[in-house]
Amino acid sequence: MSESVAAEHDYIGLSEFPTMEATMSDITKNEDGLNFKATELRLGLPGSESPERVDQRFLSIKSSCPVSGAKRVFSDAINGSNKWVFSSGSTTATGDVGSGSGPGSSAVKDGKSTTFTKPAVPVKEQKSSATAPASKAQVVGWPPIRSFRKNTMASSQSLKQGNNSEIEEAEAKSGPEQPCLYVKVSMEGAPYLRKIDLKTYKSYLELSSALEKMFSCFTIGQFGSHGGCGRDGLNESRLTDLLRGSEYVVTYEDKDSDWMLVGDVPWEMFLCSCKKLRIMKSSEAIGLAPRVMEKCRSRN
């Protein structure tokens, strides 16, 4: 099927450039008799690791900015784009061109499935980590196409390939799939919603402390310093008082569209039936009639 080919091109030295040309042109004549330079490119000097491999490590570094607490950037989507193999008509010579090429094989990173492969001109297979089903190893960022375009083209390709294509597309774009239970959490008086994954909590206690952290900013009436929501002990304890005291209650809408108080049923049952959450003032929660809920929502 498809083979993973390492593309090697050695920058040995400036004066040797013409020599390399000559070597290449011997090897890489395509059918039309035109001399094409092999699209063999290795980045970095002999002996140093190919930056593509390094790239892979970079992309696995999930560094968070200490200043902004940035969420992990969504490198999965970016990863996927590098498989957009752009093969021109030329053949590629394999093996070590020039000395000391070391383990410089530059296989395309990661094994996401949405690659489209052009049948490669037969080449010797390099001893690369053949993770990707790409037909040719590719230089990072060449040709210079934006990731967004690559992703869009890749997923439209997979759509055309039919069957399971939608699943592939979803995978390609949204990263690893895990069953998760996203529910909306709204709060009386807060200008917008949060969404949480109920599966990340194991008990009502965990859930309630998470909610306290998330919404403490609103009850205080101002935005804390970044990431400061809940970190300020005063905020947290005040909200706890509010939540545990009489002022706020946490309610949820269940599968029958009834609004119930959170905490009445066993946790697992709650997980199965909860559709959305709402933190409301106790006074509003009396009765828990659906019409009351509507009124609360529209006031926001």
Partner 1 sequence: MNLRLPSKVLEHIISFIDSNEDRNSVSLVCKSWFETERKTRKRVFVGNCYAITPAAVARRFPEMRSLTLKGKPHFADYNLVPDGWGGYAWPWIEAMAKKSPSLEEIRLKRMVVTDECLELIAASFKDFKVLVLTSCEGFSTDGIAAIAATCRNLRVLELRECIVEDLGGDWLSYFPETSTSLVSLDFSCLDSEVKLSDLERLVSRSPDLKSLKLNPAVTVDGLESLLRRAPQLTELGTGSFSAELKPEAFSKLSEAFTNCKQLKCLSGLWDVLPEYLPALYSVCPGLTSLNLSYATVRMPDLVELLRRCSKLQKLWVMDLIEDKGLETVASCCKELRELRVFPSVPDLDATNVALTEQGLVFVSQGCPKLESVLYFCVQFTNAALITIARNRPNIKCFRLCVIEPFAPDYKTNEPLDKGFKAIAERCKYLQRLSVSGLLTDKAFKYIAKHAKKVRMLSVAFAGDSDLMLHHLLSGCESLKKLEIRDCPFGDTALLENASKLETMRSLWLSSCFVSFGACKLLSQKMPRLNVEVIDEHPPETRPESSPVERIYIYRTVAGPRLDMPEFVWTIHKNPEIGVSHLAIK
- The residue with tokens 């939540």 is 243
165 binds partner 1 (CB under 8 A): no
Using CB under 8 A, pick the residue from 127, 148, 231, 241 that binds partner 1.
148
Q: Is 159 in the site for partner 1 (CB under 8 A)?
A: yes
> Which residue stretches of 90-146 are H helix?
none
Beta carbons within 8 Å of 202's beta carbon, 6+ residues apart: 267
Q: Which of 19, 22, 70, 167 touches partner 1 (CB under 8 A)? A: 70
**Cα 239 to Cα 218: distance, rounded to the nearest angstrom:** 9
CB of 223 to partner 1, least distance (A): 5
Helix axes 204-220, 233-244, angle to 10 degrees: 110
How far is residue 136's CA from residue 263's CA, in Å, rounded to a whole number?
57
Using CB under 8 A, which residues numbered 15 to 34 contact partner 1? 17, 34
Give the contact letters, 88-117, x = binds to partner 1 (CB under 8 A), - = no. Answer: xxx-------------------------xx
Among 1, 31, 33, 69, binds partner 1 (CB under 8 A): 69
Residue 85 within binding range of partner 1, rule CB under 8 A? yes
Tokens of 164: 């399971």
Is residue 275 part of the contact set for partner 1 (CB under 8 A)? no
Distance between CA atoms of residues 262 and 252, nearest Å: 6
User: Which residue lies nearer to partner 1 by CB, 140 or 260?
Assistant: 140
Is residue 179 close enough to count as binding partner 1 by CB under 8 A?
Answer: no
**Identity of the residue, 63 or 203, whose beta carbon is nearer to partner 1 in the bound complex:** 63
Q: Residue 282 to residues 159, 246, 249: CA-CA distances in angstroms?
A: 50, 6, 6
Give, to the nearest 10 degrees, the angle between helix 165-174 and helix 147-160: 160
Question: Of residues 208-267, which lie at the interface with partner 1 (CB under 8 A)?
Answer: 223, 226-227
Binder among 27, 121, 140, 271 for partner 1 (CB under 8 A): 140
Please, what is the minimum distance in Å from the beta carbon of residue 157 to partner 1? 6
- Of 109 and 126, the one with the shorter C-beta distance to partner 1 is 109
- Look at residues 163, 165, 120 and name the one whose alpha carbon lies nearest to residue 138: 120
